[in-house]
Chains A and B, each alone.
Chain A
Amino acid sequence: MSDATLQADRARPPVSPFVERLKERLFPTPLSGLLSALGIAAALWIAFVLIRWAFLDATFTGTPEDCQQTTGACWAVISARWRLMFFGLYPYELHWRSGIAGLILIAVIVASCVPVFWSATRLALLWVVSFALFWIIMHGGVFGLETVTEEKWGGLTLSIFIFCGTALVGMPLAIVLALLRRSRYPLVAKVAAVLIDTVRSLPLVTILFTVSILLPILMPDMPLSKISRVILGMALFFAAYQAEIIRSGIQSLPVGQEEAAKALGLGYWHRMTRVVLPQAFRRALPPTISQFAISFKEVALVIIIGVFDFLASGNAAYGSGEWAFTYVEVYVFLAFVYFLFVFSLSRYGAYLERRMRVGK
């Protein structure tokens, strides 16, 4: 912009800088202006079509026949079958138990995100108590609660449970693997490295097939249930990746940190838990949050070994003769729920980074 136009601008009555900037960005020349106008029109049109489909013409409650009268989305399938999606094959009259158990896990996840609980003992206590509570409510068999075996668990509650179990078993395992890989003893370090690289070179699907199908054939008296085996398999997978993330955090620290701690006479455990790991975690926070988000979505892979998770329950939800045509609505709903979880996780990660002043 030349000085002359600046002068001219000052002479004109004041226009809000936002509108001014918008005008400059979108309509600098006639051709660009035309393209902008077309782009905006297209975006508005797409938004209008989507809104018309999802809200204006949609059917929110009622029967499949009601839906077929209109051209919009058939959200009636969600109101008719949401319990199936959230609780899967859990006995219908006991759904409240699955609901409470799921809410407990969500509450504990939220609680663990609050700095008040950030000490190893508090976190451990919180998780042990809540897992015990989850098990009592979900599985029953005590306090007069009817027993519901793990094969009957399903839906969103089961997905969250598998995710929590994976993270809970996987995170300590990851720390151990990361530390072992940095061990002073070459043999230990090599073994840890080979283990991590082997697991990372296997697809998760292979691991799931192994724990769910191969193990029972090789060891017919396997005491672990299918869900526990799945959690252990997924935790191993999670740990292999997370271990490398932690190691990258550790290696990004100046060597002086650990040497200074050594010079002060701190033992190995104190050096690790007080000096190295806290800083490593802070530096590795962004990839750690990604790893959690990835793991949450990877839980959906268990559908291929017949675990009735949220995705499988969604398949079942539109899988009846009456609702067969509502697959788009069901998948949109599933995606929305996944989005809620993963997006909150990302926002939380962003808050943590601000709090810890990562990158500054």
Chain B
Amino acid sequence: MTGPKGLIAAGIAAAAHLAFSTPVYAAESETLAAVQERGVLNCPGHNGSYLGLAEVDDKGEWKGFDIDLCRAVATAIFGTYEDHVNIVPLSWAQRWPALQSGEVDTIIKASGWTLGRDAELGFQFSNIYMLAPTKILVPKSLGAESVADLDGGAVCVPAGTSTERSVAEYLERVGIEMEFVTSEKTEESEAAFLSGRCDAFAQWDVQLAVLRLKSGKPDDYMILPDSIAAEPVGALVREGDDDWLDIINFTLTTLLAAEEAGVTSENVDEMKANPPAPGIGKMLGATPGYGERIGLSDDWGYNVIKVMGNYSEMFERNLGKESPYGLDRGVNALWQDGGVLWPILID
């Protein structure tokens, strides 16, 4: 029998437990709660195809890097993306109001991080998932190996765009001169380049890969390795829902950390059984702590890699060597490989 003293002691112990045990930050994200209740994550698609990032296959299914990233976030929340992702076709102009009105839960749509978008639209950007480099496409017959070889040539650019400005600045910096052939619209510039009115065409590298395919003779063109400008590309969420931003940032971290540690969709089961590092074990749910702190299940990292693969697998199948675009990772490699991408540390 415990006397009053015993009861008091038990009471103190219980109070102490409540007061000093590790606090659990249950997710308080409104967006996450709404997504979980709905059972579906709403992401933007495109009004048509945006090649490499959001395109439609023969069966009317979405595919592409942006789409895969959205699926990764859905997998993080639900364990699978099947039946849990709804791709809402959106035009470029529509994406901001669509996020404001709640039509989509996040914008993952090739959107560059700018002061205006960050400060004035009421959105927050996630860590960047891509640095979009502006590069130059040339016909192989020109024999150029870098931008420096183009001295005295002509370059096609849409008039008054940031691309035109970056090309001009870059040319000045490396000290060569080129004639600018400007057109009102990007399509006109592309046509001018393909019909041979200029020697070079400057654009974001994904668009250059697309243009190379559009020409119908992809082997006749090459993208020069020089990056003449770059735009940081991230996902956007509504301002003030930091816990939701965390989920997107950590999904990205999972993809990058898995690549860093060599965890792929193939070997993720072995890696979970014998984690190479404690952080990886935690990320894959071998030891607890990865999910609870951001309001997800503890094996969410495992699910993401198992279903979607790591960053490298996602890149290669959508934009890289296994895709028609055949892009190099370039600046979008991990920091160890000379790129700009890094995962957040998992402690």
**Is B175's CB within 8 Å of the partner chain A?**
no
Mask: chain B, 206-234; 1 = CB below 8 Å from A; 0 = not:
00001001111100000000000000000
B49: min CB distance to chain A, Å: 2
Contacting chain A: which of B18-26, B94-102, B279-287? Answer: B94-102
Chain A residue numbers with a CB within 8 Å of B55 are 316, 319-321
Q: Mark B44-79, 1 if CB is under 8 A from A, else 0.
A: 010111111001111111100000000000000000
A121 to B90 CA separation, bound complex (whole angstroms): 40
Taking A220-B101, A306-B88 as contacts, is the C-beta distance between A325 and B51 under 8 angstroms? Answer: no
Q: Does A163 reach chain B (CB closer than 8 Å)? A: no
How many interface residues does A have (CB within 8 Å)?
A: 40
Please give, as numbers and ranges, the residues of chain A lying within 8 Å of B323 by CB-CB distance. 321
Given A151-B88, A321-B323, A90:B214 Cβ within 8 A: no
Stretch at the interface among A4-12, A54-62, A79-87, A99-107: A79-87
A316 x B49 contact (CB < 8 A): yes
Cross-chain contact A87 with B60 (CB below 8 angstroms)? yes
B325: Cβ under 8 A from any A Cβ:
yes
- The binding surface of chain B is classed by DSSP as loop
A28 within 8 A of B: no
Q: A216 and B325 in contact (CB under 8 A), knowing A84-B58, A319-B49, A320-B57?
A: no
A316 touches B324 (CB 8 A): no
Q: Which residues of B contact A80 (CB under 8 A)?
A: 58
A333: shortest Cβ distance to chain B, in Å?
Answer: 15
| CB neighbours of B93 from chain A (8 A) | 304
Chain B interface: which size bin? Answer: 35 or more
Interface members, chain A 203-218 (any B CB < 8 Å):
212-214, 216-217
For A216, give its contact among B47, B91, B101 (CB under 8 Å).
B101
CB of B89 within 8 A of CB of A307, answer yes
- Looking at the assembled complex, report how far the CB atom of B73 sits from the nearest CB atom of chain A, in whole angstroms: 19
Tell me which residues across on chain B come within 8 A of A293, comparing CB atoms: none
Contact yes or no, B91 A84, CB < 8 A: no
Q: Which residues on the B side are within 8 Å of A216 (C-beta)?
A: 101-103
Q: Which residue of A lies closest to B100 (CB)?
A: A217
A-B contact count (CB 8 A): 108
A192 at the interface (CB under 8 A from B): no
B63 → A minimal CB distance (Å): 8
Q: Is A131 an interface residue (CB 8 A)?
A: no
- Whether A305 sits at the interface, judged by CB under 8 Å, is yes
Cα distance A324–B52 when bound, in Å?
11
Q: What chain A residues lie within 8 Å of B100 (beta carbons)?
A: 217
Residue-wise, chain A 302-327 has the 8 Å CB interface mask toward B (1 for contact) of 01111110011111111111101101
B216-A83 in contact (CB<8A): no
Task: Tell me, yes or no, whether A141 is within 8 Å of chain B by CB.
Answer: no
Q: Which of A89, A317, A319 contacts B51 (CB 8 A)?
A: A319
Task: Give every chain B residue within 8 A of A314 (Cβ-Cβ).
Answer: 48
B:146-193 near A, CB below 8 Å: none
A residues near B98, Cβ cutoff 8 Å: 213, 306
A213 B60 Cβ-Cβ under 8 A: no
Which B residues touch A320, using CB under 8 A?
49, 51, 55-57, 324
Separation of A197 and B59 alpha carbons in the complex (Å): 45
Cβ of A68 within 8 Å of any chain B Cβ, yes or no, is yes
**Interchain CA distance A217-B94 in the complex, whole Å:** 12
With a 10 A CB-CB cut-off, give which of A83, A91, A305 has the most chain B CB atoms: A305
Tell me, in angstroms, the Cα distance from A315 to B46 when the chains sit together: 10
- In the assembled complex, the Cα of A68 lies from the Cα of B48 at a distance in Å of 24
Contact B59 A308 (CB under 8 A): no
Contact A312 B58 (CB under 8 A): no
Given contacts A87-B60, A92-B59, A217-B100, contact A315 B94 (CB under 8 A): no
Q: Which residues of B contact A313 (CB under 8 A)?
A: 48
Contact between B214 and A327 (Cβ–Cβ < 8 Å)?
A: yes
Contacts A213-B98, A308-B89 known; 7 new A-B pairs at CB < 8 A: A89-B62, A305-B47, A314-B48, A315-B48, A316-B55, A320-B57, A321-B55
Name 21 interchain pairs, CB-CB below 8 A, sorted by A: A81-B58, A90-B60, A212-B94, A217-B97, A217-B100, A220-B101, A220-B102, A305-B94, A306-B45, A306-B88, A306-B98, A315-B48, A315-B49, A316-B49, A318-B49, A319-B48, A319-B49, A319-B55, A321-B52, A324-B51, A325-B216
Residues of A at under 8 Å CB distance from B?
68, 80-81, 83-84, 87-92, 151, 154, 212-214, 216-217, 220, 303-308, 311-322, 324-325, 327
| B→A interface (CB under 8 Å) | 45, 47-52, 55-62, 86-91, 93-94, 97-98, 100-103, 210, 213-217, 323-325
Instruction: State the 6 A-B residue pairs at the shortest beta-carbon distance, nearest first.
Output: A319-B49, A315-B48, A321-B324, A325-B216, A324-B213, A92-B59
